[in-house]
Structure 1
Amino acid sequence: MSENTLINQLPSSLPEGLTLEGLDVLPMGKSGPDLQGILKTPNGEFPIAIEVKNTGGTATFREAARQVKTYAVQGGAVPFVAGQFFGKAARQVAKEEGVGIMDLAGNFYLKKDDVYIEKIVEKNPFAQKIPLKNLFAPVSSRITRVLLTQPKKTWLLGELSQEAKVSLGQTYKTIDRMIEEEMVERNQKNKLVLRNPDQLLVAWKNTYSSYELKKFTFFSFEPNTTTLLTSILEKAEDLPFTLSFFSGADLVAPFIRGVTKLQFYIKRLSDLDRWKKLLDLKEVVDGANVELYIPYDEGVFYRIQKISTSFVKEAPVVSNIQLYMDLFNNPARGAEQAEHLREIKLGF
């Protein structure tokens, strides 16, 4: 978006009671902000310096904020970043950096001395796609899973690509976007470091429910899930499976009492009939006590744990990160179990 477009449209996008006058670009050849003008408020008027930013993530926004602060100090003005639309993350960076924001959607923020004005527009009227969606597509999510499973490890790009089993090109694109969003950064040795695991986890879980798992529900005449699991561990030698959901959580971080279903992933649809025969399962719509899932992507099986307790030995369970994602999106108190798991196992 050009400076001329903002000059024409920004004044009409301001909150009621504010006016923007004398908005113009700097004379040719003079260094400084993209735009400058006078902002009039009920509490007074201020010269402002504006840096225009329309693309990139929070890292790019932060760079613009720091640049305009430099210009503002030189000219005795209030620093602003302006653009088409700024979401929650950009608004937070603006507050951290001490700059104002204004955009064509109507977002506005100013804090100077005793003047505080803020207007928030949550929905982007110009959006054409879901923000960050591509970061968490099934294959790209393998990279997220690897980073969150080993949050303190540093990576060369090629190492991360191999570990996640994702092409080097796709890994580069995904990491580049994560760097833009300040989730990942490069250290002094040019290795990749997970900067904000909490931000990455939250962003992923907010899109995870869109994944399509194939779910099959059955009834077993064995009502005791521990007895049933023990039987599987003894008999299913060539039938790979991995516990998850409440069955996995009951072994890793028990919280919800009275788990009455056995829930696990199987690798292949072609194995389904063998499972039915092995456990003498009856397919049902209601009253299921066994749930089998075929995952949306093989990344679900990354870093399977072998958990032993007083009643089972080396039961395979998905990684704690995968377990958290599966639980959080389960409507039957899954979010409570997920947060308990996060508190005692994830550490962020």
Structure 2
Amino acid sequence: MKEIEPQLADALRQQLERIPSLEIQSIDRDWDLRTSPDTPGPRADILARVKMADRDITLICEVKEPGYPRQVRGAIDQLYAYMARYQTRAEADVIVPLVAATWLSPESRNICAEAKMGWLDLAGNCRIAFDGVFIERETTEKPKPVARSFRAVFSPKAGQVLRTLLRDPTHAWKVADLAEAAGVSLGHVSNVRTALRDREWATVDDEGLHLTAPDALLDSWRTSYEPVRGRRSFWYTILHGRQLEDTLLEALNRPDTEEHAMLGGLSAAQWLAPYMRSNMTTLYAATTIMPELIEALKLKPSKSGANVEIIEPDDPAIFKERVDIPGAPPVSSPVLTYLDLSHLDDRGHEAAEHLREKLLKWH
């Protein structure tokens, strides 16, 4: 028995109690749907019987955990089987199928709607419709365990895998090859692969893992994105214009700074997909090369009037994906730059979408 069944049974009762014309007769869990004692059959996770006027209504609820699109499609198939079997018993005038979970994403709810199924989750999302009864509620809230699980697919380690996949979404990856390319363990790749399949952003066949919905993946990542963790400091330099660009080009391409420093944010976007200029130069830099950068760029600490921001990332893996552009300083990858821009102000959002249009189009 699924641990969340009692909570979902209570949630279903609360929704049904909102309709004064309904008389709740019973709400049971793990209900046997056999047509006879000698005939094997499935068991419904939750079965509710209600009366409305002189009509008997049965709600059959299939619980899935987690409630991602792949699991929801499995629940829908199971509900079709339940309905076919239960209708032979002629015990209800109306049979209402429901998919239930701790949390159902908008994508999962859309799948239910297309299949003409209702849904229910513990976050408060609900759609139950039958015989003139219509209950629908949507919320942006997620239960805390679900929110943690949802963000886990975009953790720093998982992000290394996702950025590798997004560099060429058409490429088919074996687990070992993807782990090596992303610089993570086989276990991390396996976890990401499962998460992508559950959300229907990828498929797996004999050739390997195929990313099938890169835009949906990037949209969700943008929504859940947390800026790169690390120490942020602000500085002032007297260098500007072409002099600053030339100094950055030289300083970031020296042997001791290779794979240890790069432009980020709007400063990277200016070279990847120019849209707007910023008075602030943003750099990602390893702590070990900070003294060299401070000297080369003539930096002075500044609490006000700063024109240089330096981020010393906790995870140096992002430097492995830096992009080298002829005649320009090295910059952060298009995906990382896009995500960083998306969390700036409105103008930053515009720059992000401009970069996405130029460099992150796959169809």
TM-score (norm 1): 0.85
How many pairs does the alignment contain?
340
Relative to structure 2, which stretch is displaced further, 104-113 or 163-172? 104-113
Distance in 2 of aligned mates of 1:85 and 1:147: 27
Pairing 1:100-249 to 2, within 5 Å after superposition? 100-104=118-122, 106-111=124-129, 116-124=134-142, 127=145, 130-187=148-205, 189-209=206-226, 211-224=228-241, 226-234=242-250, 237-238=254-255, 239-240=257-258, 241-249=261-269
Percent of counterpart pairs with the same letter? 26
* Contact 1:10–1:104, Cα closer than 8 Å, also in 2: yes
Cross-structure match for 1:12: 13
AA aligned to 1:69 is: Y
Pairing 1:1-348 to 2, within 5 Å after superposition? 1=2, 5=6, 9-15=10-16, 16-17=18-19, 20-24=24-28, 25-26=31-32, 27=34, 30-32=40-42, 34=44, 35-39=46-50, 46-55=57-66, 57-76=68-87, 77-104=95-122, 106-111=124-129, 116-124=134-142, 127=145, 130-187=148-205, 189-209=206-226, 211-224=228-241, 226-234=242-250, 237-238=254-255, 239-240=257-258, 241-256=261-276, 258-266=277-285, 268-308=286-326, 313-331=327-345, 333-347=347-361
AA aligned to 1:209 is: E
Distance in 2 of aligned mates of 1:306 and 1:92: 42
Query: Shift of residue 4 of structure 1?
Result: 7.3
Structure 2 residue matching 1:249: 3-state secondary structure: helix
Distance in 2 of aligned mates of 1:105 and 1:289: 44
Distance in 1 of aligned mates of 2:328 and 2:68: 43
* Contact 1:242–1:264, Cα closer than 8 Å, also in 2: yes
Structure 2 residue matching 1:335: 3-state secondary structure: helix
* Contact 1:11–1:20, Cα closer than 8 Å, also in 2: no
AA aligned to 1:49 is: I
* Contact 1:33–1:51, Cα closer than 8 Å, also in 2: no
* Contact 1:13–1:105, Cα closer than 8 Å, also in 2: no
Distance in 1 of aligned mates of 2:112 and 2:13: 22
Relative to structure 2, which stretch is displaced further, 279-288 or 21-30? 21-30
Distance in 1 of aligned mates of 2:344 and 2:270: 15
Structure 1 residue matching 2:321: 3-state secondary structure: coil
Post-superposition CA distance 1:17-38 (Å, at most 9, x none) = 1554344412565424514444
Query: Shift of residue 100 of structure 1?
Result: 0.9
* Contact 1:14–1:106, Cα closer than 8 Å, also in 2: no
AA aligned to 2:334 is: N
Distance in 2 of aligned mates of 1:3 and 1:139: 30
* Contact 2:156–2:315, Cα closer than 8 Å, also in 1: yes
* Contact 2:271–2:328, Cα closer than 8 Å, also in 1: no
AA aligned to 2:218 is: L
AA aligned to 2:25 is: E
Please give the root-mean-square deviation of Cα atoms over the aligned residues, in Å. Answer: 3.0
Structure 2 residue matching 1:307: 3-state secondary structure: coil
Post-superposition CA distance 1:52-105 (Å, at most 9, x none) = 223353311221112212332454433222344434343233223321113455
Query: Shift of residue 138 of structure 1?
Result: 1.6
> Residue 19 and residue 250 in structure 1: after superposition, are their counterparts in 2 closer, same or farther (change >3 A)?
farther
> Residue 227 and residue 96 in structure 1: after superposition, are their counterparts in 2 closer, same or farther (change >3 A)?
farther
Distance in 2 of aligned mates of 1:42 and 1:307: 73
AA aligned to 2:14 is: S
Distance in 2 of aligned mates of 1:41 and 1:211: 55
Please list every run of 5 or more consecutive structure 2 residues that lacks an aligned counterpart in the other structure: 88-94
* Contact 2:341–2:348, Cα closer than 8 Å, also in 1: yes
Distance in 2 of aligned mates of 1:301 and 1:61: 38
Cross-structure match for 2:92: none
Post-superposition CA distance 1:106-131 (Å, at most 9, x none) = 43213568764312244345747523
Please list every run of 5 or more consecutive structure 1 residues that lacks an aligned counterpart in the other structure: none
Post-superposition CA distance 1:291-328 (Å, at most 9, x none) = 222223223224332224xxxx1431221111111211
> Residue 243 and residue 30 in structure 1: after superposition, are their counterparts in 2 closer, same or farther (change >3 A)?
same
* Contact 1:33–1:68, Cα closer than 8 Å, also in 2: no
Query: Shift of residue 146 of structure 1?
Result: 1.0
Distance in 2 of aligned mates of 1:173 and 1:264: 31
